């Protein structure tokens, strides 16, 4: 069966420079949401602009609903693609009020879709009701971004492209919007590609996520696998949720580290016994135990509301993060000793 | 196809501008009359010396007046300071040649000054005690008091955008007000001030009316004379070449400075109103006195002189066909504005949608016409049309086109177009710079065609810029003298040409009425334009 949307072997180019090479990925079913992650300037926006038809491609192809919309010799004009892009920068029409700007989205959509989007629902979702009569220069960057998002959602396109959609939105409001946005996209079955550098946002909104750097799509997978089964050290470093420590494979189900001792678990990729590897240790892999005789020194402690993240120093001067529930009975100060539960067992062992 | 259309239109516009430059250059390959020899043996050095002396004197004076008044109204509060911030722009309504008429009328033997003294103190031989502001000094004063506003406007805009922090930093470092001015405020406004002075320099070198009136020989009058008196177009063009070289050097400096100035503006997150320092006592009076003197000398003085004469010789008012002159002026203004705006819109839009480098170079070239003096443009235009008519049109067996393009409205509008295209182009460009390119792209994604985006998004947003351009173009055309004088159709006069003709026939009293109307109409446009500028600055 054909994918709903597919990018095949495309080089994404901006300003004469190739930003991402030979990229391929797909949205399998209508209504799926995928997210693209990567550091700033890597070409994420270029990908969206190209998909929207604002930039042309020289090789490969882009297909939507079985039709080629971009290739070396096909380029459907942006206005004929039924793809909407919410720009990260302010793209509101400066001489129209917020209301008129939003209604332009509705105008485009008129009569096209059976299941019509509810204007009030969108205004409530994005908390825009109070600024409808204002002009773009009278509102804040966050409000402009929400207005732009509303206008884009109301077009109910075949494919929605969101470029850092919540980057200017207040943290307190962000999570609520994420929840409601996800619900709307699901209800209306709007296929969406979201570009972001916030991995939490990507993991929440996307059924699949792609990580881009060094001009390549390095991994395209569901969020769980991306996090727990990263396919390269670069992906681990980008997600920045764990550390790599040296270890020796001692059996098909165990490794030995000089500081932590024996670690057991299931290898996601087999390594020969006796080989020296880099083991990924994520904050949730180690557990606190005051009674344990494996004690490490606390060098930092971050309070994250629901938990603490302790940074511990091993005898060989490596720093390891460990999660502890914030209701844990007592706290450890910097320089104090911190017990690690033994034996150490990690469900899926990721080594490189 | 679309790209080639934008290229073609930008190319055509650039071609209009290049024609006079090429014509001037080609004069080196043509024979000249013996006027060249006569001039070389006699006055050429004087022409050059006068031009340079005039230039530097005017630059010094406009710098002092323009920057000084801009500094006072930008940073201090004193009586009428709010009025002066736009009142000081009114000097633009008085072109240098009208200022020159006023200066002469007031200080000449048995002139207005004499009458005032006589009325105050009775009969007496006052003439020998009344200073005479004629000759080179008269020209310097006339040009300076008319053009200092270029420096004033740009310097003030730059002062307004200077961060309060920089000035407070000066205070914090224990600088005196004077040290803050010369070590912080002036250096950071330097690009704007240089841009203003370059405009003054170009206008000074191009000035025709005032220097002609005071019979000062400069390169510009040399060009006019070699054409009118010796019928030697080739030599007129050869003189123009030297003047153009000098002007292009200034043009490059101005362009370079303005780019920096623009950067300076854009680097600010937004304009923040500064707290002005309230002056008290003597300081407040001195600041007021300085600004009032500038306002009085540059605007009130010529205005009242012209009013006085109009009232003293009311018959001139009734003899003048005011309605005809007004009709002619409005006709020229509306036709030229329309043509300028249409082409400037096409060119700007082309640049926006294609982002093509060749197109960009062509556009930069096409706006260089404002640097070419009106006299040169007009003379070069006639030279070109004559050459084209004789060598191309007639050889193809067609009727002569000279009558269509010389001494006609078409010719006048074409040369105005070259001279004022930069006003229209830059005006629209600065409007376009405020519309993020993502706005266009959003429109395309909302299903708008390029045409609909242009008509429904760009044009409504640019409406204010277009209005502002019309005002500026009108102001320039109302004041413009040499192009109109040389290229106007027979029996077609404007306020400027009527005033010039009367003055050149030594009928200064008769020149007063058209001059007064010119000042009043120009003031009207300036007041509207200044409101726009103040609004842009959030004042």
Model confidence pLDDT, tens digit, residues A308-350: 889 999 988 899 999 888 777 667 888 888 899 988 999 889 9
Residue A266, SS3 per DSSP: strand
| A2-37 b/e (C-beta count within 10 Å ≥ 16 → b) | ebbbbbbebbbbeeeeebbbebebbbeeeebbbbbb
Residue ranges per structural domain of chain A? 5-235, 242-349
Whether residue A77 and residue B444 make contact (CB cut-off 8 A), yes or no, is yes
User: How far away is chain B from the Cα of A175, in angstroms, using its nearest Cα?
Assistant: 26
Q: How confident is the model at residue B270 (pLDDT cuts 50, 70, 90)?
A: very low
pLDDT tens-digit readout, B186-220: 877 887 888 888 888 888 888 888 998 898 888 88
Topology, domain A5-235: Rossmann fold (3.40.50)
In this complex, do A93 and B442 lie within 8 Å of one another by their Cβ atoms?
yes
Q: Verify whether the Cβ–Cβ distance A95 to B447 is below 8 Å.
A: no
Q: How far apart are CA B474 and CA B331, in angstroms?
A: 10
Across B351-360, B429-438, B502-511, least confident range: B351-360
Q: Which of B360, B370, B376 is nearest to B251 (CA)?
A: B370
Contact state of B457 with A93 under an 8 Å Cβ cutoff: yes
Chain A residues touching B438 at Cβ < 8 A: 87, 89-91
Whether A78 sits inside 8 A of B445 (CB atoms) is yes
Chain mean pLDDT for chain A = 88
Contact status, residue A83 vs residue A155, Cβ threshold 8 Å:
no
Specify the DSSP class assigned to residue A341: -
Which pTM value belongs to this model? 0.74
Size of interface A-B (CB pairs under 8 A): 59
pLDDT-derived band at B167, boundaries 50, 70, 90: low
Interface residue of A84, A94, A163 to substitute, partner B, most B CBs within 10 Å: A94
- CATH 1.10.3720.10 given to domain A242-349: no
Which chain A residues in 139-158 lie under 8 Å from chain B, judged by CB atoms?
148, 151, 155
In this model, does residue A153 exceed pLDDT 50? yes
Distance from CA of B448 to the nearest CA of A (A): 6
Residues of B in contact with A87 (CB under 8 A): 438, 441-442
Q: Which fold has domain B31-308?
A: MetI-like fold (1.10.3720)
Q: Diameter of chain A by CA atoms?
A: 70
Does A94 reach chain B within 8 Å, measured CB to CB?
Answer: yes
Question: How many C-beta atoms lie closer than 10 Å to residue A227's C-beta?
Answer: 18
Let me know the angle formed at the C-alpha of B80 by B79 and B86, rounded to the nearest 5 degrees. 150
Angle, CA of B400, B404 and B406, to the nearest 5°: 95
Nearest to A95 among B436, B446, B460 (CB): B460
Q: CA of B441: which chain A residue's CA is closest? A: A54
Question: Burial, A287: exposed, middle or buried (Cβ in 10 Å; 0-12, 13-18, 19+)?
Answer: middle
**What value, to the nearest 5°, has the Cα angle with vertex B288 and ends B287 and B290?**
65
Q: How far is B453 from chain A (nearest CA, A)?
A: 10
Helix, strand, or coil (residue A58): coil
pLDDT on residue B537: 60
Interface mutation target, options A48, A85, A91, A105, chain B, most CBs of B under 10 Å? A91
Cβ-based contacts of B271 with chain A (< 8 Å): none
- ipTM over 0.90? The verdict is no
Helix orientation angle between B495-504 and B459-479, rounded to the nearest 10 degrees: 10
The residue among B252, B256, B246 whose CA lies nearest residue B204 is: B246
Check if A49 contacts B (Cβ < 8 Å): yes
Which positions in chain A touch B462 (Cβ < 8 Å)? none
Whether B477 and B332 have beta carbons less than 8 Å apart is answered as yes
Q: What is the dihedral of CA A217, A220, A224, A226, to 10 degrees?
A: -30
**Do A310 and A326 contact (CB within 8 A), yes or no?**
no
- pLDDT > 80? residue A276: yes
């Amino acid at each position: 069966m054909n994918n709903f949307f597919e990018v095949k072997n495309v080089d994404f180019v901006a300003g004469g420079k190739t930003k991402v090479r030979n990229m391929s990925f797909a949205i399998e079913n209508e209504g799926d949401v995928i997210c693209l992650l990567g550091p700033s300037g890597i070409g994420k926006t270029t990908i969206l602009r190209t998909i929207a038809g604002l930039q042309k491609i020289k090789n490969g192809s882009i297909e939507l609903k079985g039709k080629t919309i971009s290739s070396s010799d096909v380029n459907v004009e942006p206005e004929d693609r039924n793809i909407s892009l919410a720009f990260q920068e302010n793209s509101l029409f400066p001489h129209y009020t917020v209301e008129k700007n939003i209604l332009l989205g509705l105008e485009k959509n008129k009569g096209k879709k059976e299941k019509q989007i509810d204007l009030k629902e969108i205004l409530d979702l994005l908390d825009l009701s109070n600024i409808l009569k204002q002009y773009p220069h009278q509102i804040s960057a966050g409000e402009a971004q929400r207005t732009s998002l509303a206008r884009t959602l109301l077009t109910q396109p075949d494919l929605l492209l969101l470029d850092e959609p919540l980057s200017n939105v207040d943290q307190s409001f962000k999570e609520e919007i994420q929840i409601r946005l996800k619900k709307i996209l699901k209800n209306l079955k709007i296929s969406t590609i979201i570009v972001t550098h916030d991995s939490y946002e990507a993991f929440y909104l996307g059924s699949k996520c792609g990580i881009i750097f060094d001009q390549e799509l390095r991994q395209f997978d569901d969020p769980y696998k991306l996090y727990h089964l990263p396919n390269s050290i670069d992906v681990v470093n980008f997600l920045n949720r764990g550390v790599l420590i040296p270890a020796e494979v001692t059996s098909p189900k165990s490794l030995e580290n000089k500081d932590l001792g024996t670690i057991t678990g299931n290898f996601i990729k087999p390594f020969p016994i006796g080989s020296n590897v880099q083991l990924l240790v994520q904050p949730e892999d180690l557990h606190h135990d005051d009674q344990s005789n494996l004690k490490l020194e606390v060098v930092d402690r971050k309070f994250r509301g629901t938990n603490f993240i302790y940074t511990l120093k091993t005898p060989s001067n490596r720093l390891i993060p460990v999660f502890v529930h914030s209701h844990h009975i007592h706290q450890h100060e910097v320089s104090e000793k911190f017990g690690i539960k033994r034996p150490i067992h990690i469900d899926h062992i990721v080594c490189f | 196809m679309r790209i080639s259309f934008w290229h073609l239109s930008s190319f055509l516009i650039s071609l209009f501008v290049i024609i006079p430059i090429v014509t001037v250059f080609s004069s080196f390959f043509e024979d000249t009359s013996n006027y060249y020899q006569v001039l070389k043996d006699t006055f050429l050095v004087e022409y050059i010396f006068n031009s340079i002396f005039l230039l530097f004197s005017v630059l010094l004076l406009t710098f002092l007046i323009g920057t000084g008044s801009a500094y006072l109204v930008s940073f201090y509060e004193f009586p009428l300071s709010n009025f002066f911030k736009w009142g000081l722009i009114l000097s633009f309504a008085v072109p240098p040649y009208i200022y020159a008429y006023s200066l002469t009328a007031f200080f000449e033997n048995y002139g207005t000054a004499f009458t005032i003294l006589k009325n105050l103190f009775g009969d007496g031989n006052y003439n020998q005690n009344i200073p005479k502001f004629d000759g080179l000094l008269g020209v310097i004063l006339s040009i300076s008091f008319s053009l200092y506003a270029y420096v004033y406007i740009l310097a003030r805009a730059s002062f307004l955008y200077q961060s309060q922090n920089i000035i407070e930093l000066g205070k914090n470092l224990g600088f005196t007000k004077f040290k803050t001015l010369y070590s912080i405020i002036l250096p950071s406004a330097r690009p704007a001030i240089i841009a203003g002075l370059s405009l003054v320099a170009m206008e000074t070198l191009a000035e025709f009316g005032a220097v002609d009136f005071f019979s000062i020989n400069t390169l510009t009058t040399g060009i006019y004379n070699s054409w009118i008196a010796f019928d030697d177009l080739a030599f007129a063009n050869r003189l123009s070449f030297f003047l153009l070289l000098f002007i292009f050097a200034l043009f490059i400096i101005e362009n370079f400075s303005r780019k920096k100035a623009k950067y300076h503006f854009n680097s600010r997150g937004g304009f923040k109103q500064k707290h002005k320092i309230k002056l008290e006592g003597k300081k407040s009076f001195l600041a007021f006195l300085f600004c009032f003197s500038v306002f009085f000398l540059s605007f009130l003085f010529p205005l009242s002189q012209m009013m006085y004469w109009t009232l003293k010789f009311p018959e001139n008012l009734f003899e003048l066909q005011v309605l005809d002159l007004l009709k002619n002026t409005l006709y020229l203004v509306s036709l030229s504005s329309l043509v300028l705006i249409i082409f400037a819109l096409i060119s700007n839009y082309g640049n926006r949608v294609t982002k093509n480098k060749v197109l960009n170079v062509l556009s930069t070239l096409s706006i260089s016409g404002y640097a070419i003096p009106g006299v040169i443009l007009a003379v070069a235009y006639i030279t070109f049309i004559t050459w084209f008519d004789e060598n191309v049109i007639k050889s193809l067996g067609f009727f002569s086109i000279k009558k269509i393009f010389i001494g006609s409205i078409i010719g006048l509008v074409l040369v105005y177009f070259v001279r004022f295209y930069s006003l229209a182009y830059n005006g629209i460009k600065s409007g376009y710079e405020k519309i993020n390119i993502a706005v266009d792209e959003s429109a395309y994604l909302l299903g708008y065609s390029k045409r609909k985006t242009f008509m429904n998004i760009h044009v409504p947003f640019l409406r204010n810029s277009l209005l502002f351009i019309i005002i500026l173009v009108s102001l320039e055309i109302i004041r413009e003298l040499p192009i109109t004088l040389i290229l106007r159709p027979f029996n077609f006069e404007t306020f400027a040409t009527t005033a010039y003709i009367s003055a050149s026939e030594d009928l200064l009293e008769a020149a007063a009425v058209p001059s007064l109307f010119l000042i009043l109409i120009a003031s009207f446009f300036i007041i509207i334009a200044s409101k726009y500028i103040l609004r842009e600055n959030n004042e």
